[in-house]
Structures are given as structure tokens and as C-alpha cells.
């Protein structure tokens, strides 16, 4: 018996089931997310941040992500769709992580910072986020995947 097999290729690739996170990395391999921010966090804030990534990777719509605050407005921030996550550790500091989406369920982290009374620390956090977003979309930067930890 002969079977005629017909293969139909879908025009659209299926959406991945989970979000993947990437750190912005400079061409010289400096990873500002890991080296300048994540490693400086107290244990409890790291635990909270890792849990946040774990929960949000399974949440389809980023606007429903836990801790998702907003898309930032104005200039390049708006142009590149820079958004911010917010969360607070036991030290009471309101932390923000800015990033952009690029591709199916792909989030790129640009900068981690503090926020108090309408001011960011470092004070040029917004400009840095815009500059890094620009470098990323011009393909002048590297990325390093931030794996979600099943354990701490």
C-alpha cells in the first residue's frame, strides 16, 4: 500500500511556551545587568527577582506580569518600547529593571536601578536604557541568556 504524505508548512512558527530573558552585554563582554546590578543585590532581593522571573516566564501577556509597571514614554524610550519592572526588597528600596521586547517571548534587560520620589539612581538610568536599547536594535550589542533558576 502506498501512502501519499503531504507536508504542510505553517507560515507562522508556534509561539514558545515560556518567556526567555537576555542580559544586554557590551561588545567588550561587559554584562552590566549581571556585574553592575544583579551581583550587588542582597540575597533576599535576588531571591525575589529570581522568583519574579520564574513566575513571569509562564505569563503570556507581559502587561499582566507581576511587577510590570509600564512602558516608558518619550523619545527613544518610547521608540524602542522600553518598559520597567518594579519590586522592593526588605531594605525598602524600590528597584526597577528596564528592558525591551524583541521577538517571540524574548525580553532583554537593559539596566537595573533604584527609584525614589520620581528620581532614578543612577540618575542617567533612563538615558542609559535608551542608549542600550538603541545599541541592541542596531545589533551593536551582545546578549547573554539569563536562565531561570529552578532552585536558588
Partner 1 sequence: MSERSKRISKLLESAASRASYIRAKLNVLIPSQIRALRLKRDNMTQKQLAELADMAQPRISKMERPGEEAFNIDTLIRLAAAFKVGLKVEFVPFSEMLAWENGYSQDAFNPTPIEQDNRFLTPAPAVVRAAFPSTWDEYAQLQRTFRQQVRLCYTRYTELANSGNILTGIAGAPAGLTVPVSGIVTYVRGSEPTPQLTEIQVTPRFRFQNIATAVQPVNQLQH
Residue numbers at the binding site for partner 1 (CB under 8 A): 43-45, 47-48, 51-52, 54-56, 58-60, 64, 66-67, 86-90, 150-152
**Closer residue to partner 1, CB minimum distance, 72 or 130:** 72
Half-sphere exposure of 19 (CA within 13 A, CB side): 22
**Closer residue to partner 1, CB minimum distance, 36 or 47:** 47
Say how far apart CA 32 and CA 112 lie, in whole Å.
9
Say how far apart CA 122 and CA 30 lie, in whole Å.
18
CB of 6 to partner 1, least distance (A): 34
Question: Residue 129 has which C-alpha cell?
Answer: 536604557
Strands 106-116 and 94-101 come out as antiparallel
Work out the angle at residue 37's Cα, subtended by the Cα atoms of residues 36 and 40, and round it to the nearest 5 degrees.
Answer: 95
Question: Residue 133 has which C-alpha cell?
Answer: 536599547
**Closer residue to partner 1, CB minimum distance, 52 or 125:** 52
CB of 43 to partner 1, least distance (A): 6
CB of 84 to partner 1, least distance (A): 12
**Closer residue to partner 1, CB minimum distance, 56 or 128:** 56
CB of 67 to partner 1, least distance (A): 5
Amino acid at each position: 500500500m502506498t501512502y501519499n504524505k503531504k507536508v504542510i508548512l505553517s507560515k507562522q512558527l508556534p509561539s514558545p511556551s515560556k518567556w526567555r530573558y537576555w542580559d544586554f552585554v557590551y561588545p567588550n563582554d561587559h554584562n552590566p545587568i549581571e556585574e553592575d546590578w544583579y551581583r550587588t543585590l542582597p540575597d533576599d532581593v535576588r531571591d525575589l527577582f529570581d522568583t519574579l522571573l520564574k513566575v513571569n516566564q509562564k505569563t503570556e501577556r507581559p502587561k499582566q506580569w507581576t511587577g510590570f509597571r509600564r512602558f516608558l514614554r518619550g523619545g527613544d524610550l518610547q521608540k524602542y518600547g522600553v518598559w520597567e519592572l518594579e519590586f522592593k526588597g526588605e531594605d525598602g528600596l524600590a528597584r526597577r529593571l528596564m528592558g525591551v521586547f524583541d521577538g517571540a517571548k524574548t525580553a532583554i534587560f537593559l539596566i537595573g536601578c533604584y527609584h525614589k520620589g520620581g528620581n532614578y539612581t543612577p540618575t542617567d538610568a533612563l538615558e542609559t536604557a535608551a542608549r542600550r536599547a538603541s545599541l541592541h536594535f542596531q545589533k551593536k550589542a551582545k546578549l547573554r541568556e539569563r536562565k531561570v533558576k529552578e532552585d536558588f
